[in-house]
Amino acid sequence: MKDSINIAIAGATGYIGLELIKLLSKHPKAKILYLCATKSIGKSIFSFDKSIKKKLPLITKIEKIDWNKIDVIFTALPNGEAHKIANLLPTRVKLIDLSADFRLRNPKVYKKWYGINHKSTKFIPKSIYSISEFAKRSLKKYNIISCPGCYPTSIQIPLIPLIEKKLIKVDNIIIDSKSGFSGAGKKIKQKFKFKHLFNSVRAYGVGSHRHMAEIDQELSKAAKKKVNVSFTPHLIPMFRGILSTIYIESKKNIKAKNIYNFLKKYHKNNFFVKMSKFNRPIGTGDVINSNYCQISVCQNRENNKIIIISAIDNLIKGGSGQAIQNMNLSFNINESLGLK
């Protein structure tokens, strides 16, 4: 176990990068040596977020990093950039990536959904896709850690245990997710030209959202057969938070209370997963500014039809917090360190 972990953050001025800085500034074993961005070189990170009080290095280019001083680099960059960094890294340095660059195991699927040729295919087998709760025993073996997307995190934490245990049918899973606009990044107005963007609820990526590939991949792995979900995301007029409502059908005579009891037992030792009381609706307010995933299991009108509601903070459990949780586990320290 290391006394301190020397860290670089690439993409430091984005929403996720700033959350990483705020959390790591309070982490007792984290030492931030480099804050990197393509613009604002030489500026203080304080000019981007006045709540960051700790004295930190000025923003620099990634080319200025002395890799001999670094144990881990967090990359919160546009898709395609982590490929380049992976090709440069010494083998001793861990890469914890928050983009999609190592999420998909098939480079052809990556090209289909992201429109980019994978430039680091040799590292795909050497990387791990890590929702922390499912990768605890494996993380230490990998130097490239791919953090899941925010929507997939909220969806997989309740669904994967049920699919692996064969408690639910997988041919008609329907997922309705809603996210605060921070999930779209700081350039949201360039990405979305919706009327009244910040004053309305709007479906987007209908039938074609990029996270579908990631969700299908991981649920298919759990089911050991092909799974294609119906998934529709929505932007809502708040800054942060994700609420996913998942409609499932159980097998045989398995009722909603059985599903609830199983998930409660399964996640008993997962510190950052909280189960609400049975049939109790939840909201993003239950998890904002935390690394928790809150799950509610509710009975539908028909006995074998069940509604699961899952809430996370997209910038923490769906981003920076899970990345730090993965770092903690990979360095064999308590997964909750710096995140409580």
> Whole-angstrom Cα distance, residue 22 to residue 240?
16
Question: What does R_g of the chain's alpha carbons equal in angstroms?
Answer: 20
Buried b (16+ CB within 10 A) or exposed e, 31-42: ebebbbbeebee
CA–CA separation, 144 and 122 (whole Å): 12
Catalytic positions, please?
Answer: 150
- In angstroms, the Cα distances linking 233 to 103, 228, 282, 313 are 19, 15, 18, 15
Q: How many residues does the chain have?
A: 340
Tokens of 63: 């080319």
Residue 9 parent element (H or E): strand 5-10
Contact indicator for 295, 242 with CB cutoff of 8 Å = no
Q: Any alpha helices (H) in the chain, and if so which ranges?
A: 15-25, 81-88, 107-114, 132-135, 150-164, 188-191, 211-223, 256-266, 321-330
Inter-residue contact 263 to 158 (CB < 8 Å): yes
DSSP one-letter string for 167-222: -B--SS-EEEEEEEGGGG-TTHHHH---TTGGGS-EE-STTT-THHHHHHHHHHHH
238 residue type, one letter:
M
Q: In a 3-state reduction of DSSP, which class is residue 60?
A: strand
CA 143 to chain centre: 18
